[in-house]
Amino acid sequence: MGKTRSLNNVIITGSTGMVGEGVLIQCLNNPEIDSILVINRKPCGYVHAKLKEIVHQDFFDFKAIEDELKGYNACFFCLGISSVGVDNETYYRMTYSLTMHVADTLVKLNDNMTFCYVSGSGTDINGRLNWQKVKGKTENELTKLPFKQVYHFRPGFIKPIRKQKFAHNFYKYINWMFPIGRKFFPNGFCKMTELGDAMINTLYYQSERRILEGKDIIKLGKEFS
């Protein structure tokens, strides 16, 4: 499949977290991305000619910034919380309800938008664990929205980009495992660069609704390189 160049203006959420920051870095470095809007509760600390940042506290109320959310053809949704130490009601609100509110808002404001959602390896609406079910429900409901296309990314172990500011500290001590894991469990190990590139490459499809596991992310990340 050939690449058709068009104007690519993307919104990224969660850029003060490891995944969102990594996706932001790949978008900043990719000449195919023309402009980037990041929406955070605190500044991400990046400055670039094609980057605009909105610091906004309430992701359940975008009325004050709705006009600034128009004119984008993609959202790379990397915002999320861990289920560890969080009660089920809070996790549901911050995972399902928040994601759906953002998605509902963006789909009304932008025609022909691609929505990429980072759920995670093991997501399963019929799973045993609460987080699996909640993220599975979120995936299912996002797929029903009238976006141009919807992709659900299910990475496992992600190798961060060197010198990421928001990478979890424990990666410093376990990165040595990556080559071994990649060799024996390739579906569960991908690089942050591959994840970011895969999201960017979704923009070159016309109408898709897909779930991407580790191998799929790696493949799509190389699709147009």
pLDDT reported for residue 172: 63
Q: Give the Cβ contact number of residue 111 at 10 Å.
A: 11
Q: What's the angle, vertex CA 36, arms to CA 138 and CA 103, rounded to 5?
A: 20
Structure tokens, 12: 């990224």
pLDDT reported for residue 188: 78
Q: How far apart are CA 115 and CA 15, in angstroms?
A: 16
pLDDT reported for residue 180: 78
pTM beyond 0.75: the answer is yes
Q: Who's near 108: CB < 8 A, 6+ residues apart?
A: none
pLDDT reported for residue 187: 76
pLDDT reported for residue 112: 93
Q: Who's near 161: CB < 8 A, 6+ residues apart?
A: 22, 25, 167, 192, 193
Residue with tokens 């977290």: 17
Residue 30 pairs with which residues in a beta bridge?
A: none
> How does pLDDT run along the chain (225 residues), one tens digit per residue?
556 557 899 999 999 999 999 999 999 999 999 999 999 999 999 999 999 999 999 999 999 999 999 999 999 999 999 999 999 999 999 999 999 999 999 999 999 999 999 999 999 999 999 999 999 999 999 999 999 999 999 998 888 888 888 877 766 656 767 777 777 777 778 899 999 999 999 999 989 999 999 999 999 999 876
pLDDT reported for residue 3: 61
